[in-house]
Amino acid sequence: MKTHRVNPGTTVKLTKIASDDTEKYDAKDDGKTRAQKQTEDLLEKLRALQERLYASGSRSLLIVLQGMDTSGKDGTIKHVMSGVNPQGCSVTSFKAPSTREISHDFLWRVHQETPAKGRIGLFNRSHYEDVLITRVHGMISDKIAKERLERIVDFERLLYQNDTTIVKFFLHISKDEQRKRLEARLRDPEKRWKFNPNDLVERKLWDKYQSAYEDAISATSTEEAPWYVVPADYKWYRNLVVAETVVAALDGMKLRYPPLPADVDFDHMTIE
């Protein structure tokens, strides 16, 4: 959806983007039902396109998911990628770097996880953590953060030039919605395991994280690797936007199944 795409050179202000926006889908009438039906139709198309991507082996797709705690990264992967052939898809979550990873440049561990041709790779948190949490907690200076953002642009351009299409999603929720979701985790015995006391510590740094995200998105939304700021207070609308964007990215590859071997007569072949 072009309305959520961050055009190159845009200065993003998250406070000016409504996290509860549902565009033409009114949450109070049948908008949710219509959006969910449209999402299911898109997922059918996604499954077919992924099969063609896998068969062609000519391009790859990298999906980056970022957002505050409880913004729905796991839920987005679970719903939007449902039914996709797991043989052609991988999910990577970047935690605190190991001693070995720290001994290399900050993109070293990331490059190894980028999708090979024919595959879809999902980053549930990503290389952007190294200019977000590190900056918010004062582990790197603003100068180093700026330099890293420049290296990220170069890195993503390299991937693009090697036939990887990149789409990046910031799942945009309000602070009030985060509070509701954290409280829901505490009340639900089946979701309580997700609660981490450190989430409350990070929540106190909300404004700093919002500022860091604004800088990162503004500096790295390019033609080769655009950012989409997805209103995510309503999960059903979030799923629709991500599904539509991913389908459009695959559709834009103009993928074809590989040609049949010229020396094989399939019409007259018999298998005994």
Surface-to-core class of residue 20, CB atoms within 10 Å of its CB (0-12 exposed, 13-18 middle, 19+ buried):
middle
For the chain, the helix, strand and coil percentages under 3-state DSSP, each to the nearest 5: 50, 10, 35
Which tokens belong to 93? Answer: 């979550």
- Under 8 Å between Cβ of 266 and 62: no
Establish if 17 belongs to a structural domain.
yes
CATH number at residue 134: 3.40.50.300
Residue (of 70, 90, 168, 164) closest to 127 by Cα position: 168
Query: Residue 133 and residue 173: Cα distance in Å, rounded?
Result: 18
Range of the domain at 57: 2-253
Establish if 260 belongs to a structural domain.
no
Query: Residue 50 and residue 160: Cα distance in Å, rounded?
Result: 18
Establish if 262 belongs to a structural domain.
no
Q: What is the pLDDT along the chain (272 residues), one digit of tens a residue?
A: 568 999 999 999 999 999 999 998 987 778 999 999 999 999 999 999 999 999 999 999 999 999 999 999 999 999 999 889 999 999 999 988 999 999 999 999 999 999 999 999 999 999 999 999 999 999 999 999 999 999 999 999 999 999 999 999 999 999 999 999 999 999 999 888 888 888 899 999 999 999 999 999 999 999 999 999 999 999 999 999 999 999 999 999 999 998 877 777 777 677 77
Establish if 272 belongs to a structural domain.
no
* pTM of the shown model: 0.94
Q: What are phi and psi of 102, to 5 degrees?
A: -65, -25
Establish if 271 belongs to a structural domain.
no
The distance from CA 244 to its chain's CA centroid, rounded to whole angstroms, is: 13
Establish if 266 belongs to a structural domain.
no
Domain count, the chain: 1
Establish if 258 belongs to a structural domain.
no
Amino acid at 27: A
Establish if 82 belongs to a structural domain.
yes
